[in-house]
Structure 1
Amino acid sequence: MSEAEKKSIGVAGAVAPIRIVVADDHPVVRFGVKNMLESEPGFEVVGEANDGDDAITQSLELEPDILLLDLQMPRLPGLEAMRAIMSKSPRVKILLLTSTISTQQIIEALQIGARGIVLKDSVAADLPKSLRAVLSGDYWIGGERVVNLVAALNELMKQAAATSDKKTYGLTPRELEVVTCIVEGCSNKDVAKQFAISEETVKRHLSNIFDKTGVSTRLELALFAIAHKLVTLEN
C-alpha cells in the first residue's frame, strides 16, 4: 500500500477521498475535469484556480493530495507556479495538464518535481489512470505509467538531443502530424478521424500551428512545411 493510500485510511477503516485542486484558466476545462473526477470513486475536487498565482494560493491553503496544473496560464505560467509550490509545499503531487508540450519542457517539469504530464486530448482516457499511478508513487509520462524516473529522463534527453538539429518552430509531435495531413490535403474531418480526436481539437491544433509558423491559411502552411522540410514527401 502506498503512503498516500495509508494516509487516506481513517481510524474507523474508512478511506478518505483523494483531495484534488484543478488549476486551468478555461472554465469549461475545469468543469469537465471536475465532473469526470467526481464521477470516479475516491476523488474529491476541493478547489479550483484560474491562474498561476491562484494555483499557488490554493495549493498552500488547501494542501491537496494532487494539483492538476495547466502548463499555460495567465499571470504566472505553470512551470513557474510549480517551482513556487514545490519550494513551499513539496508534499503536493503535481500533474501537468496541457494541450502541447515540448520534450525539453517535459524534462524541465520532471526536474522541478512534476509527477507526470497529461495531454488534454487524452484526459478522458488517461486522467484516472495517471492519478492512480502518481498516488502509488510512480510517474505518468508519454501516456503510460513510469516506475524508473532516471531511465525515463535519460530517454527524454536522448530524444531532445536527436531532434535539436532539426528546426520544428516549437511544433509538438502531434502538431507535426497535423501539418503532414494538411500537406496531404486532408480536411479537418479527415484529421479528426485519423487521430480519434474532435474537429474542435483539430481547429485548436491548427490555430497553434498558424501562430508558431506565422502563416494564416492551409495553403501557406503546406508551402511553409515543404520549404522548411517539416514533412517528408514520398516520391
Structure 2
Amino acid sequence: MIRVLLADDEAMIRAGVRAILTADPGIEVVAEAGDGRAAVELALSHRPDVAVLDIRMPRMDGLAAAEELRRAVPDTAVAMLTTFGEDEYIERALAGGVSGFLLKSGDPHELIAGVRAVAEGAAFLSPKVAHRVITELSSGRMTRGTSARARTRALTPRETEVLALVGAGLSNQEIAARLHVVEGTVKAYVSAILARLEVRNRVQAAIVAYEAGLVAEPGE
C-alpha cells in the first residue's frame, strides 16, 4: 500500500485529487494539509511514502515544504502539483529534491501513475511539463551536452547503462528486470551515479542523461 500525504490550500482540489488517488486500491491518503507548514508536521508524524504538494500554499509554499521534507523525512518522495505555466518553479523544485511534477489539469491516470512512479523511486514528469523542460534544455543543449558528457565519463559502462534507464523513467525494479540483477544492486548503482555526478536525486540524474545524449527525445 502506498501511503500518501496530500497538501493543497484549496479544499475542492484536495477532494478531487484524493478521490482520484483512492480509486486505486493500492493507494491510501493518510493525511491532508491546507498549508506547507502543516504538511511538514503531518509528514513527520505519518511518515508517508509520497507527499503530493501544491506549489502555492500559505505559511510555507510547496517548494519550501519540499526542501524541508527532504531534510526531515528523506524517505518520503515528493511530487509537486502544478498548473500549466508555472515553469519558473521547476528549476528550484528540481534543485530541492522533487521527484515528480503532476498537472492539476492532467489525466487522472497520469496522477496515479506519477504517485506510483515516485513511490518506487523513479522520476515522473507529466508529459506537458516534460515538454517544457526539454524545450528549455534544448535551448542550450550543445553547451550543456558537452558538460554532461564530460560528467558521465566518470561512470563505468554499467553505471552509464543504468543512468540511461533512469533517464528513460524506469524504476529500480524495472531496471533490475531489464538488466537481470537484483533490485539491491540497482540501488547501489544509482547511489554511486548520484555521487559521481554530484546530483541530489533521480530527476537531476535523468536531466544529465538527457543532456549527455543517453536518452532520446520523445518521438525520436
TM-score of the aligned structures, taking structure 1 as reference length:
0.54
- Cα gap change, 1:156/1:31 in structure 2, threshold over 3 Å: closer, same or farther? same
Whether the 8 Å contact between 2:8 and 2:53 is mirrored in structure 1 is yes
Amino acid at match of 2:6: V
Query: Computing the radius of gyration over CA atoms, which structure comes out larger, 1 or 2?
Result: 1
Within a 5 Å distance, the mapping from 1:141-180 to structure 2 comes to 141-143=125-127, 155=134, 158-159=137-138
Whole-angstrom CA distance in 2 between matches of 1:105 and 1:161: 19
Runs of 4+ residues over 4 Å off in structure 1: 154-157, 159-162
Question: How far does residue 41 in structure 1 lie from its aligned partner after superposition?
Answer: 1.5
Whole-angstrom CA distance in 1 between matches of 2:107 and 2:56: 16
Aligned to 2:16: 32
Question: How far does residue 20 in structure 1 lie from its aligned partner after superposition?
Answer: 0.5
Task: Report Cα offsets for 1:6-31 as digits up to 9, x if no partner.
Answer: xxxxxxxxxxx211111000111111
Number of corresponding residues: 141
Whole-angstrom CA distance in 2 between matches of 1:117 and 1:127: 9
1:97 aligned to 2:76? no
Whole-angstrom CA distance in 1 between matches of 2:137 and 2:83: 23
Q: % of aligned pairs identical?
A: 32
Aligned to 2:55: 71
Whole-angstrom CA distance in 2 between matches of 1:123 and 1:30: 16
Could you tell me which of 21, 24, 43 is aligned with 2:27? 43
Task: Report Cα offsets for 1:51-83 as digits up to 9, x if no partner.
Answer: 011111111111000001000001111111111
Whole-angstrom CA distance in 1 between matches of 2:135 and 2:92: 11
When the two chains are superposed, the root-mean-square deviation of aligned CA atoms in Å is 2.7
1:130 aligned to 2:130? no
Question: How far does residue 36 in structure 1 lie from its aligned partner after superposition?
Answer: 1.6
Whether the 8 Å contact between 1:18 and 1:42 is mirrored in structure 2 is yes
Question: How far does residue 156 in structure 1 lie from its aligned partner after superposition?
Answer: 6.4
Whole-angstrom CA distance in 1 between matches of 2:18 and 2:29: 6
> Where does structure 1 lack aligned partners over 5 or more consecutive residues?
1-16, 147-151, 163-235
